[in-house]
């Protein structure tokens, strides 16, 4: 990796206090993070969270409102061409020229990226191999399935073998077998490159990424490895309990020490409650004593393990999206604020 | 330079992947074929002045109508298509300056425009085999076609950056070309000598006649080239500004 050798820090993407404001909204607000060589970082967030905007700024397509972005050590605004030469970008649209053949398109992309004449054919062959495009290499893009188009666009992003890859939803539109193969390709590429990929598919993060940035409403709300995020949120446990009959369990349980929020639902002659608790708390015994004291019949009492889905949902849920869960959502925001204050490097 | 040529090549070839290119080419050859047969008929008239008919190839009304309609159709796709499909994102995040992108696309369009004209050289050769022809004015005529073509195409290229819709881009280009073309025609309507001079400087119709008589006036060349450069500059500026609203 010739470009990375110049930078002892190995930080191939550095984003500092990035803010991007559009006339009607703030798409990205004071975001800072970095991606090192040999690292695959997942950008995780609900639709409209600011992932695509952030990536467009990093690739130099959009200028930032404030803050700096460096790619391979080059500022994307002041040394834009060097920065752009160091990165490969797969945009969300994965747009291609429909009239071109796959091989022809890749050769065109290679030339635009500055690959020299004699190397073009070899680079095109390599990218066709790594994105499994052999069988369609001489077909026109307009006649390809969505999956092949997506892979052609991915091949276009890496045809010049850049040290930095920015992939906006690289596995969208692929069938499960293709997804597994493309993830393998990305993992392989990530060994010696810095890869930033966005996704809203949670298993993808577990399968591919070394580290996760959860972005919501333009801000990073949590950062860490998938395991770290899990254990940190597992530290603020959830207890589920169910009682026979229809009872008013919310009030008494919300008063228990360590419980931050309670939600309650009754169905089929059973009342189910879900308690969110402060880190380290285990109110199971208190729940049991409360039940005994009030004469409730306890059917089930479980301390839940937290999945990555839970982490994601808790960090990104808003009242306007889930009004029914209003009771829980204030604690989700508390968790979000907590995550933000802990994790965003200053 | 390699990147520039890559863009030029792609743009030029892209025209031939759509039926539009062939429709334009066919219409163009039909039009010029009719003019050519008129020239031949003219030369067959007893006592026709030899060697003076060829300028008609460049100075007839069809020539202008054709340019005014065809140039917007050639240029409409240049940026509008890429912005609509989203390929503009990969194009502008490649390590290429916006100026190179604009020049590459413009040159591709200009080459296609000249490709339309290339078959007319056959007419010149046919006439030349039958009657003495002064090649100087013919060369000057083709030079004028290239220069005025470049000027018009630069306006069309600019119009194409203003919208994602190709049809709107074509109409915008047409709306801009009409005043550029017709300003000079007001020359005869003005009595003020100062105004007449200014309008005369912009009178493309007269310029074309001069060129096809073999008069190569550097003022005309400066006008076309500087206007082309100006519109290409505007194109580059617009392209950068439009990034804000992808």
Q: Kindly state the tokens that stand for A256.
A: 């228990």
Question: How deeply is B125 buried, as exposed, middle or buried, from its count of CB atoms within 10 A (0-12, 13-18, 19+)?
Answer: exposed
Interface A–B counts its CB contacts (< 8 A) at: 74
Q: What number is the average pLDDT over the span A299-305?
A: 82
Q: What is the dihedral of CA A181, A182, A183, A189, to 10 degrees?
A: 110
User: Which residue on chain A is closest to B91 by alpha carbon?
Assistant: A112
Q: So what's the pLDDT on residue A334?
A: 40
Looking at the structure of chain B, the number of domains it has is 1
> Can you tell me the ipTM of this complex?
0.85
Minimal Cα–Cα distance from B85 to chain A, Å? 6
Catalogue all structural domains in chain A, each as residue range(s) with its CATH number. Answer: 2-86+162-231 (3.40.50.300), 98-153 (no CATH), 235-343 (3.30.70.260)
User: Which residue on chain A is closest to B239 by alpha carbon?
Assistant: A61
User: Which residue on chain B is closest to A83 by alpha carbon?
Assistant: B95
The verdict on B16 touching A (C-beta cutoff 8 Å) is: no
| Under 8 Å between Cβ of B140 and B214 | yes
First-residue to last-residue Cα distance in chain A: 30
Closest CB from B14, B18, B243 relative to A62: B243
Query: Taking every pair of C-alpha atoms in chain B, what is the biggest distance, in angstroms?
Result: 66
Closest CB from B6, B17, B246 relative to A108: B6
Rounded CA gap, A257 and A249, in Å?
Answer: 15
Q: What number is the average pLDDT over the span A154-168?
A: 92
Domain enclosing residue B203, as ranges: 2-242
> What are the pLDDT digits (tens) for B134-189?
788 888 888 888 999 999 999 999 999 999 999 999 999 999 998 888 877 777 77
> What are the pLDDT digits (tens) for A232-246?
666 667 888 889 888
User: Which residue on chain B is closest to A116 by alpha carbon?
Assistant: B2
* Substitution target from B90, B240, B243, B246 for chain A, most A beta carbons within 10 A: B90
First-residue to last-residue Cα distance in chain B: 27
Rounded CA gap, A327 and A335, in Å?
Answer: 14
* Substitution target from B89, B105, B164, B246 for chain A, most A beta carbons within 10 A: B89
* Substitution target from A24, A60, A97, A103 for chain B, most B beta carbons within 10 A: A97
> What are the pLDDT digits (tens) for B11-55?
999 998 888 889 988 988 888 888 888 888 877 777 766 656 666
- Work out the mean pLDDT of chain A and round it to a whole number: 82
Inspect the interface and report whether the beta carbons of B89 and A89 lie closer than 8 Å: yes
The angle formed by the CA atoms of residues B28, B71 and B155, to the nearest 5 degrees, is: 160
Q: What number is the average pLDDT over the span B71-76?
A: 93
Who's near A208: CB < 8 A, 6+ residues apart? A40, A42, A183, A186, A187, A190, A197
């Amino acid at each position: 990796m010739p470009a990375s050798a110049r930078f002892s820090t190995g930080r191939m993407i550095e984003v500092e206090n990035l803010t991007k404001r559009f006339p009607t909204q703030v798409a990205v607000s004071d975001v800072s993070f970095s991606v090192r060589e040999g690292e695959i970082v997942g950008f995780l967030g609900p639709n409209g969270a600011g992932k695509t905007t952030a990536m467009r700024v990093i690739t130099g397509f959009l200028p930032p409102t404030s803050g700096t972005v460096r790619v391979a050590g080059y500022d994307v605004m002041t040394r834009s061409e060097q920065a752009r030469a160091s990165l490969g970008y797969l945009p969300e649209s994965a747009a291609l020229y429909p009239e071109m053949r796959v091989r022809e398109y890749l050769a065109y992309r290679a030339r635009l990226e500055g690959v020299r004449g004699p190397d073009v054919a070899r680079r095109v062959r390599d990218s066709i191999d790594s994105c499994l495009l052999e069988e369609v290499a001489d077909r026109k893009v307009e006649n390809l399935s969505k999956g092949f188009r997506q892979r052609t666009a991915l091949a276009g992003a890496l045809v010049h073998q850049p040290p930095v890859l920015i992939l906006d939803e690289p596995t969208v539109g692929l069938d499960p077998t293709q997804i597994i193969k493309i993830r393998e390709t990305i993992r392989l590429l990530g060994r010696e490159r810095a890869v930033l990929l966005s996704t809203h598919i949670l298993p993808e993060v577990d399968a591919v990424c070394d580290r996760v940035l959860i972005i919501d409403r333009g801000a990073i709300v949590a950062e860490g490895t998938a395991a770290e995020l899990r254990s940190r949120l597992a530290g603020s446990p959830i207890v589920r309990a169910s009682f026979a009959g229809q009872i008013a369990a919310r009030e008494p349980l919300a008063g228990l020490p360590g419980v931050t929020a309670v939600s309650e639902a009754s169905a089929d002659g059973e009342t189910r409650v879900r308690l969110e608790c402060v880190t380290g708390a285990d109110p199971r015994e208190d729940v049991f004593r409360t039940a005994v004291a009030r004469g409730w019949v306890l059917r089930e009492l479980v301390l839940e393990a937290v999945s990555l889905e839970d982490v994601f949902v808790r960090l990104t849920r808003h009242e306007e999206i889930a009004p029914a869960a209003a009771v829980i959502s204030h604690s989700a925001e508390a968790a979000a604020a907590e995550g933000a204050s802990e994790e965003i490097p200053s | 330079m390699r990147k520039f040529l890559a863009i030029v090549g792609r743009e030029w070839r892209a025209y031939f992947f759509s039926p539009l290119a062939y429709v334009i080419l066919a219409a163009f050859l039909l039009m010029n074929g009719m003019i050519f047969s008129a020239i031949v008929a003219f030369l067959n008239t007893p006592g026709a002045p030899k060697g003076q008919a060829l300028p008609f190839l460049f100075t007839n009304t069809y020539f202008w109508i054709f340019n005014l309609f065809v140039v917007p159709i050639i240029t409409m796709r240049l940026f509008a298509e890429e912005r609509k499909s989203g390929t503009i994102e990969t194009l502008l995040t490649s390590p290429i300056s916006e100026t190179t992108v604009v020049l590459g696309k413009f040159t591709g369009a200009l080459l296609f425009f000249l490709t339309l004209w290339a078959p007319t050289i056959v007419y010149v050769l046919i006439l030349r085999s039958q009657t003495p022809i002064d090649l100087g004015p013919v060369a000057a005529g083709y030079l004028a076609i290239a220069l005025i073509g470049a000027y018009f195409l630069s306006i069309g290229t600019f119009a194409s950056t203003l919208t994602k819709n190709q049809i709107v881009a074509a109409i915008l280009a047409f709306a801009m070309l009409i005043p550029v073309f017709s300003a000079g025609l007001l020359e005869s309507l003005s009595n003020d000598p100062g105004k007449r001079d200014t309008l005369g400087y912009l009178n493309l119709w007269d310029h074309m006649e001069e060129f096809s008589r073999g008069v190569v006036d550097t003022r005309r060349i400066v006008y076309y080239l500087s206007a082309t450069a100006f519109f290409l500059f505007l194109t580059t500026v617009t392209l950068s500004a439009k990034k804000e609203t992808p």
